Every structure is written in C-alpha cells, then in structure tokens.
Amino acid sequence: MPEQSIKALVEGGKASPAPPLGPALGGAGLNIGKVVSELNAKTKEFAGMKVPVEILYDTADKTKIRVVVGVPPVSELLKKELGLQKGAGKHDAPIGDVKMPVIVKIAKAKLPSMQSLTLKNGVKEVLGTCITLGLTVEGKPPRVIQAEVSQGKWDQLIK
C-alpha cells in the first residue's frame, strides 16, 4: 500500500491537536487523538526540546500509523545541556560555556543527519551553532576552537 508522510517539529511530550499539527492530521483523515498520544509517548524523553517527527500512514488503511522520532536540532541539544531557555539575543557577552566532550557527544549523535562526512567536520558544525547561540567553548570563542580542531589540537578527543 502507498505510504504518505507528515513531517513536523513538536515539543517533546507536548504535541497537541492545535495548528499546525492538528489540521495536517485531520486533513489526511487520521485519528488526531491517537496520533498525538503516540507522539507524546515517543517524545517524552525530549521534554522541553523541539523534536523532528515524521508520521507515516497507509493511504488505504488510515489506522496503520508509524511515528518516527528524529534527533533534536543541535541548538536544542546545546541549550538542554546548559539549561538555557534560549540563545543570546546579542552576542556582546557569552551566555554559557560548553566543554569539548559535550561538543563531540552532540556531533556523534547528529552526524548521520549532518552535511559533514567526518566527525571532525561535524564537531566544527556544532561549534558553528555555538557561535549562533552566543556560547564559548572551553572558555574561548568557538571560532578559535574551530581553528584548533582544524590544526589537530583536539584529535585525541575526536576519534
């Protein structure tokens, strides 16, 4: 049977039938309550973070539903790690400091969905997100750490 999908970004454990999810599910003829319940059950471990999800359903038998939960965006993982609600509005002063083992851990988790083909480049992508959020890494600006990664200073940690 042909399968259709609906992609959305929902808050972990707090999906609701409100727009934009509810109308998309209703327009597809799916049981909104059932799908929302399943989404919340599968995303509860990501409470407080936005999580990408894909709802796959059989176009002939709309009761056959699969929910696929992705890995939250790098920015959400960094904010959760530091206990931040949001990134810096202005980048005049850093709002938090991240340690390199955390950067590597996030890069490993996100590598399959990143543009990077190597973990080293994935680490540099995560460091780029630190710039956007207004974070320092190991007490230094992320661009300095990116240069150090390129020079091989962090190769022992990035295996």
Here the CATH number for the domain that contains residue 87 is: 1.10.10.250
Length of the chain: 159
Predicted local confidence at residue 1, as pLDDT = 59
Residue 140 falls inside a structural domain = yes
Crossing angle of helices 74-82 and 119-133, rounded to 10°: 70
Report the C-alpha gap between 47 and 60 in whole angstroms. Answer: 33
Dihedral of the CA atoms 18, 24, 29, 35 (nearest 10)? -60
Which of 31, 53, 69 is at the close of a domain? 69
Do 86 and 33 lie in one domain? The reply is no
Q: Where are the beta strands (DSSP E) in the chain?
A: 3-11, 50-58, 65-69, 96-98, 135-137
- When pLDDT is cut at 50, 70 and 90, the band that residue 57 belongs to is very high
Residue 86 falls inside a structural domain = yes
List the CATH number of the domain containing 32.
Answer: 3.30.1550.10
Q: 81-85: list long-range contacts, CB under 8 Å, 24+ apart.
A: 81/106, 82/135, 84/133
Report the C-alpha gap between 113 and 125 in whole angstroms. Answer: 12
Per residue in 83-131, pLDDT (tens digit) is 888 887 776 778 899 999 999 999 999 998 888 999 999 999 999 999 9
Residue 61 has pLDDT above 70, yes or no: yes
Q: List the domain range (segments joined by +) for residue 93.
A: 74-151
Do 44 and 87 lie in one domain? The reply is no
Q: Reduce the DSSP state of residue 47 to 3 states and report it.
A: strand
Which of 41, 69, 97 is at the close of a domain? 69
**Number of structural domains found in the chain:** 2
Residue 146 has pLDDT above 90, yes or no: yes
Predicted local confidence at residue 135, as pLDDT = 95
Do 12 and 65 lie in one domain? The reply is yes
| Contact partners, residue 147, CB within 8 Å, separation at least 6 | none
Residue 89 falls inside a structural domain = yes
Do 81 and 65 lie in one domain? The reply is no
Report the C-alpha gap between 149 and 127 in whole angstroms. Answer: 10
Per residue in 4-44, pLDDT (tens digit) is 999 999 988 999 998 888 899 998 999 999 999 999 999 98
Residue 54 has pLDDT above 70, yes or no: yes
Average pLDDT over residues 72-90: 87
Residue 158 falls inside a structural domain = no
Which of 38, 69, 100 is at the close of a domain? 69
Do 139 and 83 lie in one domain? The reply is yes
How is the beta sheet containing 65-69 ordered, strand by strand? 3-11, 50-58, 65-69
Do 61 and 81 lie in one domain? The reply is no
DSSP letter at 99? Answer: -
